[in-house]
Chains A and B, each alone.
Chain A
Amino acid sequence: MLSGKIFGALAGAAVVALAATGAVAQPKDKVKVGFIYVGPVGDHGWSYQHDVGRQAIEKAFPGKVTTTFVESVPEADSERAIEQLARTGHDLIFTTSFGFMEPTLKVAKKYPNIKFEHATGFKRAPNLSTYAAKFHEGRYIIGQIAGKMTKSNTIGYVGAFPIPEVVAGINAFYLGAQSVNPNVKIKIVFANTWYDPAKEGDAAKALLDQGVDMLAQHTDSPAPIQAAEARGKFGFGQASDMERFAPKAQLTAIVDNWSDYYVARTKAVLDGTWKSEDVWGGLASNMVVMTPYKNMPDDVKKLAQDTEAAIRSGTLNPFKCPVIGQDGKEIECKGKGALSDEQVLGMNFYVKGIEDKIPQ
Chain B
Amino acid sequence: MTTFEAILLTIVTASTPLLIAALGELVAERSGVLNLGVEGMMAMGAACSFAAAVTFDSTLLGVAAGMLAGALMAALFALVVLGFAANQVGSGLALTIFGLGLSGLIGAPFVGARRDPVAPVDIPGLSDIPVIGRLFFEQDLFVYASIALTILVAIYLTRTRSGLTLRSIGENHTSANALGMPVWRVRFWAILFGGACAGLAGAYLALVYTRFWSPGMTAGRGWIALALVVFAAWRPGWLLVGAYIFGAATVLQLHAQAAQFGVPSQLLSAVPYLATIIALLLLSLRHGRAIGAPGSLGAPFVPDR
Q: Is there any pair of Cβ atoms, one from A and one from B, under 8 angstroms apart in the complex? A: yes
The answer to whether residues A198 and B260 also contact, given A43-B215, A44-B214, A205-B10 and a CB cut-off of 8 A, is no
B214 close to A198 (CB less than 8 A): no
A42 adjacent to B107 (CB under 8 Å): yes
| A window 32-71: CB within 8 A of B | 40-44, 48
The answer to whether A209 touches B266, judged by C-beta atoms less than 8 angstroms apart, is no
Q: How far is the CB of A349 from the nearest CB of chain B, in Å?
A: 15
A203 and B254 contacting across the interface, CB-CB below 8 Å: yes
Chain A neighbourhood of B219, CB < 8 A: 193, 196-199
Contact B255 A206 (CB under 8 A): yes
- Interface size (B, Cβ < 8 Å)? 38
Per-position contact with A for B243-265: 1 when CB-CB < 8 Å, else 0? 00000001100110111101111
A212-244 contacts to B, CB under 8 A, are 212, 221-223, 226, 230, 244
A54: shortest Cβ distance to chain B, in Å? Answer: 15
Q: Nearest-CB distance from A195 to chain B (Å)?
A: 8
Asked if B251 and A202 make an inter-chain contact with CB atoms under 8 angstroms apart, the answer reads yes
Check A209/B7 contact, CB under 8 A, given A43-B215, A190-B257.
yes
Range class of the A interface residue count? 35 or more
Q: Indicate if the CB atoms of A42 and B260 lie closer than 8 Å.
A: no
State the Cβ distance, B97 to closest chain A Cβ, in Å: 14
Closest partner residue, chain A, to B254 (CB atom): A206
Q: Which of A13-21, A89-97, A176-184, A352-360 binds B?
A: A352-360
Chain A CB within 8 A of B133 CB: no
Would you call A99 an interface residue if the criterion is a C-beta within 8 Å of the partner chain's C-beta atoms?
no
Answer whether A156 and B258 are a contact pair too, CB < 8 Å, given A43-B214, A162-B265.
yes
Within 8 A of B (CB), among A337-351: none
B7 CB contacts on chain A under 8 angstroms: 206, 209
B212 near A202 with CB under 8 A, answer no
> Smallest Cβ distance from A327 to chain B, in angstroms?
15
Expressed in whole angstroms, the minimum distance between the Cβ of B245 and any Cβ of chain A is 15
Chain B residues in 8 Å Cβ range of A3: none
* Residue A201, interface by CB 8 Å: yes
Is A188 engaged at the interface, CB distance under 8 Å to the other chain? yes
Asked whether any CB of chain B lies closer than 8 Å to the CB of A187, the reply is yes
Question: A230 CA to B10 CA in the complex, in Å?
Answer: 13
A197 to B217, Cβ gap below 8 A? yes
Contact B212 A222 (CB under 8 A): yes
Interface membership of A245, Cβ < 8 A: yes
Q: Decide: B210 and A188 in contact? CB cutoff 8 A.
A: no
Binds A, one of B83-91, B111-119, B144-152: B111-119
* Interface status of B278 (Cβ within 8 A of chain A): no
Known: A245-B114, A356-B262. A210 touches B255 (CB 8 A): yes
Residue of A nearest to B215 (CB): A40
**With A and B bound together, what is the CA distance between A211 and B14 in angstroms?**
20
**Contact between B251 and A206 (Cβ–Cβ < 8 Å)?**
yes
The reply to whether the CB of B104 lies closer than 8 angstroms to some CB of chain A is: yes
| Nearest B residue (CB) for A205 | B10
Report B-chain residues with C-beta under 8 Å of the C-beta of A43: 214-215
Are A226 and B210 in touch, CB under 8 angstroms?
yes
Assess whether A357 is in contact with B262, with CB atoms less than 8 Å apart.
yes
Whether the Cβ atoms of B260 and A210 lie closer than 8 Å is: no
Query: A26 in the interface, Cβ–Cβ < 8 Å?
Result: no
| Min CB gap A198→B, angstroms | 5
CA distance A205 to B112 in the complex (A): 22
Q: Which residue on chain A has the smallest CB distance to residue B255?
A: A206
By a CB distance below 8 angstroms, the chain B residues around A211 are: 3
Whether A209 contacts B257 in the complex (CB less than 8 A), given A223-B210, A359-B266, comes out as no
**Given known A188-B258, A198-B209, contact A360–B264 (CB-CB < 8 A):** yes
Q: Say if the beta carbon of B239 comes within 8 Å of chain A.
A: no
Chain B contacts of A201 at CB under 8 A? 209-210
A222 to B205, CA, bound (A): 14
Bound CA–CA A189/B257 (angstroms): 5
How far apart are the CA atoms of A162 and B263 in the complex, in Å?
13
Is there contact, CB below 8 Å, between B255 and A209?
yes
B215-237 interface code vs A (CB 8 A; 1 in, 0 out): 11101010000000000000000
Bound-complex Cα distance A44 to B216 (A) = 12
Chain A residues with Cβ below 8 Å from B205 are 198
Looking at the assembled complex, report how far the CB atom of A190 sits from the nearest CB atom of chain B, in whole angstroms. Answer: 4
A52 to chain B, nearest CB (A): 11
Residue of B nearest to A246 (CB): B114
B165 at the binding interface (Cβ < 8 Å): no
A207 within 8 A of B: yes
> Quick check: is B177 within 8 A (CB to CB) of the other chain?
no
- CA–CA, A193 and B254, complex, Å: 13
* Distance between Cα atoms of A5 and B111 in the complex (Å): 36
Whole-angstrom distance between the Cβ of B250 and the nearest chain A Cβ: 7
Residue contact A206 to B258, C-beta cutoff 8 Å: yes
Quick check: is A192 within 8 A (CB to CB) of the other chain?
yes
Given A221-B214, A356-B260, A202 and B114 touching (CB < 8 A)? no
Residues of chain B within 8 A of A193, CB atoms compared: 219
Closest residue of B by beta carbon distance from A39:
B215
CA distance A162 to B259 in the complex (A): 17
Contacts A40-B214, A42-B215 known; list 9 others, CB within 8 Å. Answer: A42-B108, A188-B257, A198-B14, A206-B251, A206-B254, A245-B114, A355-B260, A359-B262, A359-B266
6 residue pairs of the A-B complex, CB under 8 angstroms, read A196-B219, A198-B14, A202-B250, A202-B254, A207-B254, A357-B260
Point out residues on B near A: beta carbons under 8 Å. 3, 6-7, 10, 14, 17, 104, 107-108, 111-112, 114, 117, 205, 209-212, 214-217, 219, 221, 250-251, 254-255, 257-260, 262-266, 269
3 closest Cβ contacts across the A-B interface?
Answer: A206-B254, A42-B111, A209-B6
